Structure 1
């Protein structure tokens, strides 16, 4: 089934949120799968969606959720064009939780395939919920990328997922079972979460392979196979992404930023940043000074 795997930019963009319109976008969406979660909210038209051999008809106000690795496709069920909101994200990267619930990723993993946790939600079921507002807010946050946009995005997505869990719990789903799922810290598919949480350290691919109980060569090969780039390149990308935010939204100097994000020194940071972004950190900060809070 490897040929159905979607080589998405979700690795380089941990969150995606956009409006898809069949009048301008490539369509239909043929069968594919990926390692991130995807939610679709219908705005206009009637869609025929297939997910793991099941068919669903979605009209305006309906929503569907695709679990990671679910095989799915999208077609039109009428002559009308389709317009729908799309959210794509790594659920393991959502850090919002309470002191009495397991992680969202564990709960949704527990719910996969459970008849009490359907992936389709009718407009009637969602009628009193601000789902459309959540979608539009997510899209706006990722479009403007204002201060704290990632926090706002995670908050809106987490709120939506909580609404979904409440619906499932009313159906009788026992979300408490998720606490019985063994910790997935050493799972290969959650290593991205580990990299994100430890990006301020000097991460070594050998150490990451050991966390996953794999040899260096197998881990490196598997990472590139799944994500389309080397683990070293991904680590650099995460660090550079955080450097960008610190340049845009703080007045911290490069020496501090390089130490904060685990670069060997300021020169190392400048060299990697220019290689990845095409300009120096100072040039990047100056060119974005009109939209950021601070500038040099």
Structure 2
């Protein structure tokens, strides 16, 4: 079976693997293989005509199309009618995200900006916007050199800071460009923000979602959708939707001073009473008691929170397969409470402890799926899961496909452009011959 997509390595540069950012040129003359990107990038098509799929959604490419691709999105150039010429900026998304989180006063704006980039992948530039984006791209090229030509400029004073500023400027200009053209792409974005049923429900949970509506979006029958959700989560559509809403409610209770009525309205509950009923069923205590136990006034920057969040994240990446990875044991290790641990992680990574742990484990499993011949069960155990169903559920949540679908549809591309073309059926054949 031929591979449908290539998972690129997470390095931003082939010249300097630890670089914050790289600049490059590309010319595309024919449709390409689909790419799953671990590193974020801006793709500025200054010439050419074609079509690109981003997480399964088609977009036209015309001169002066700018694409913002966040980590783990899949892009696929499916049509090239006139050779595509593009400037490519690859950058460290996590560093930029964390850096802005630690800047006092930028907490709300930075969260809004990164969420916007993740959900609005394409902008079509107008005259003044073209000149602004071209200026930023030229500045980065002059500062960094051209990666594929192994032409990296010698560092000038404050090169790192200069690059950070230019990437941030590019992000802000992209957001402003979309403000002028949002209506043109609104319908498409609403359909395809995520290519996963669970992700779709998560990102649209505040709407009046029904089983029928979601089934229509994914072109399947209600019974098929209901069965798939039951197989994946072991629960019904209604319970899953309410669980997602309650999960979001906990953050509003911790980080905001909104009333229960306001939170209920934001999350799609009919009223505060409806929210409270489902909150007690899931959490075992009322929203008010939860807020009293875990909430805090405002969102104040504390250096200690940053240090804890970064240390815990680093610890999970190095010990993701350990048996004792519980919020309680980790919080005890760092001498803080579980609520303080989750507050720090939510603030700097936008994930609580268990979500971050699952995110790390799924990413490690993804690498093993495309770079080894281990069985899916062995991989799930090796990354720390004792239950294959839990592994499958979390994998689908983050990747929008099952582990077997991922293995069949993704191959690994290294920075030297070589690919791991391992195929299970070939290995199975070799094993059979040996027997």
Q: Using the alignment, how far apart are the partners of 1:226 and 1:103 within structure 2?
A: 32
Show the counterpart of 2:37: 34
| 3-state secondary structure, aligned to 2:87 | strand
CA contact (8 A) 2:140 2:166 kept: yes
Q: Using the alignment, how far apart are the partners of 1:100 and 1:121 within structure 2?
A: 28
Show the counterpart of 2:175: 165
Show the counterpart of 2:93: 91
Equivalent of 1:106 in 95, 104, 111: 111
Gaps of 5+ in 1: 184-189, 199-203, 229-296
Q: Summarize deviations over 1:217-237 as a string: whole Å, max 9, x none.
A: x99976765679xxxxxxxxx
Q: Using the alignment, how far apart are the partners of 2:61 and 2:360 within structure 1?
A: 40
Q: Using the alignment, how far apart are the partners of 2:92 and 2:71 within structure 1?
A: 9
Q: Using the alignment, how far apart are the partners of 2:62 and 2:363 within structure 1?
A: 38
Calculate the TM-score normalised by the size of structure 1.
0.52
Show the counterpart of 1:270: none
CA contact (8 A) 2:25 2:87 kept: yes
Show the counterpart of 2:47: 44
| 3-state secondary structure, aligned to 2:9 | coil
Q: Using the alignment, how far apart are the partners of 2:360 and 2:129 within structure 1?
A: 47
Calculate the TM-score normalised by the size of structure 2.
0.37
Show the counterpart of 2:59: 56
Q: Using the alignment, how far apart are the partners of 2:138 and 2:106 within structure 1?
A: 27
Show the counterpart of 1:290: none
Larger radius of gyration: 2
Taking a change above 3 Å as real, the CA distance of residues 194 and 142 of structure 1, as seen in their structure-2 partners, is farther
Matches within 5 A, 1:197-236: 205=318
Taking a change above 3 Å as real, the CA distance of residues 113 and 220 of structure 1, as seen in their structure-2 partners, is closer
Is it true that 1:73 corresponds to 2:189 in the alignment?
A: no
Q: Using the alignment, how far apart are the partners of 2:112 and 2:367 within structure 1?
A: 25
Q: Using the alignment, how far apart are the partners of 1:13 and 1:227 within structure 2?
A: 21
Matches within 5 A, 1:276-295: none
CA contact (8 A) 1:91 1:104 kept: no
Show the counterpart of 2:216: none
Show the counterpart of 1:146: 155
Q: Using the alignment, how far apart are the partners of 1:219 and 1:127 within structure 2?
A: 36
Taking a change above 3 Å as real, the CA distance of residues 138 and 75 of structure 1, as seen in their structure-2 partners, is farther
Taking a change above 3 Å as real, the CA distance of residues 103 and 133 of structure 1, as seen in their structure-2 partners, is farther
Report deviation, 1:113.
6.7
| 3-state secondary structure, aligned to 2:126 | coil
Taking a change above 3 Å as real, the CA distance of residues 206 and 108 of structure 1, as seen in their structure-2 partners, is same
CA contact (8 A) 1:21 1:84 kept: yes
Report deviation, 1:119.
2.4
Q: Using the alignment, how far apart are the partners of 2:104 and 2:23 within structure 1?
A: 29
Taking a change above 3 Å as real, the CA distance of residues 22 and 166 of structure 1, as seen in their structure-2 partners, is closer
Report deviation, 1:109.
4.2
Show the counterpart of 1:231: none
Of residues 33-42 and 10-19 in structure 1, the stretch that sits farther from structure 2 once superposed is 10-19
Equivalent of 2:310 in 183, 194, 201: 194
Show the counterpart of 1:121: 123
